[in-house]
Structure 1
């Protein structure tokens, strides 16, 4: 997981380095973001390893800026390719819904360091046996770089904890547009 977090930070830095000197205005406004990254799920089942997968999806949100402080709300829907075979059959982790807030601090004109927290609901299924939803909480931290007045890139790590001891670690990158 440490390697994934480092890779996300390097990718976000590489995307933003040519534009760090540009003045791009504030972070206020409605946003849409496509996201992709690494998904690791601990199902807390004896004898079952963690499930790894590719995470992809989209988020919408609205931020407000006051001085160097940015705060906002975000909704997100993602899907995961994580699957694992067990003695009881195959388990697939699927969609994950999130609603929460974020709080950040602007560094320079183009960089936002932020934390986030909120509610999350994940779905897992086993072919032939049906599926289950799990409610939980998510916390995370990230960096967002403005590439232009209306385009930004972000890198983020987040941890989710669900019912029945299930947890999730994710490292992702995103590309978004401010409306």
Structure 2
């Protein structure tokens, strides 16, 4: 997590002084990009009915690819984005009657963002939308057979970030978001990305 914070600070405060953007790049039109992220998956309560009394969580590395479209009107930027990704590590919850394992797979999301340019080429924004997560859920009872099921959960995702235009075709961004899939499964993501504009 410290690495992501340091890299985000570098993008937002150091890069502007060493990368001279072209005259007033704007956040308009189609774009695509990639992100690498620090993902934290949390399992709360006891979805596996194994007698667990504590929440469990696991940190891992994730990735995401996306396509989007932005419209800039004055200093205001409105955008929409669709993406797919993956990564993160399996979370193991232990109880008095066995273990419960949640192994994250692919994610899909549709989101919108709303922001403002603080200076030409530097956008600060909020993001909200809906994200789906595919998981393998494994219940390992202390006595009895192992039960494995595939499941897809969906939930509200929200967060914010900043994007810096290096030139008219490339920008860098740092973003943090949170997804609540249901009352037992949640995810936090701190991401760094590169955006390529058409």
Q: Same fold (TM over 0.5)?
A: yes
Match 2:179 to one of 154, 160, 176 = 160
- CA-CA distance at 1:23 after TM superposition: 2.2
Compare CA radii of gyration and give the structure with the larger one: 2
Give the one of 62, 67, 71 matched to 2:78.
Answer: 71
In the TM superposition, residue 176 of structure 1 has moved relative to its aligned partner by: 1.3
1:118 matched residue in structure 2: 129
Q: Residues 120 and 150 (structure 1 numbering): CA distance in 2 closer, same or farther, change over 3 Å?
A: same
Deviations, residues 72-116 of structure 1 (Å, cap 9, x unaligned): 100011101312345436431121111010001012111000000
TM-score normalized by structure 2? 0.81
Residues 129-148 of structure 1 aligned to structure 2 (within 5 Å)? 129-148=148-167
CA contact (8 A) 1:20 1:110 kept: no
Once the two structures are TM-superposed, the CA of residue 129 in structure 1 deviates from its matched residue by 0.8
| 3-state SS in 1 of match to 2:27 | coil
Residue aligning to 1:109? 120
Cα offset, 1:6, TM superposition: 2.8
User: What 5-or-longer segments of structure 2 have no aligned partner?
Assistant: 46-51, 139-146
Preserved CA contact (<8 Å) 1:120 1:160:
yes
Quote the residue 1:27 is aligned against: 27
Please give the residue correspondences for 1:42-61 in structure 2 after superposition, counting only pairs within 5 Å. 42-45=42-45, 46=52, 47-61=54-68
CA distance in 2, matches of 1:4, 1:114: 22
How much has 1:164 moved relative to structure 2?
3.3
Per-residue CA deviation, residues 19-43 of structure 1 (Å, 9 max, x unaligned), is 3664242110101010001000111
Q: 2:20 & 2:161 partners in 1: Cα distance?
A: 17
Stretches of structure 1 that go unaligned for 5 or more consecutive residues are none
Mean Cα deviation higher: 165-174 or 12-21: 12-21
**Contact 1:120–1:136 (Cα < 8 Å) also in 2:** yes
Which SS does the other structure have where 1:9 is aligned? helix
**CA distance, structure 2, for counterparts of residue 111 and residue 9 of structure 1:** 13
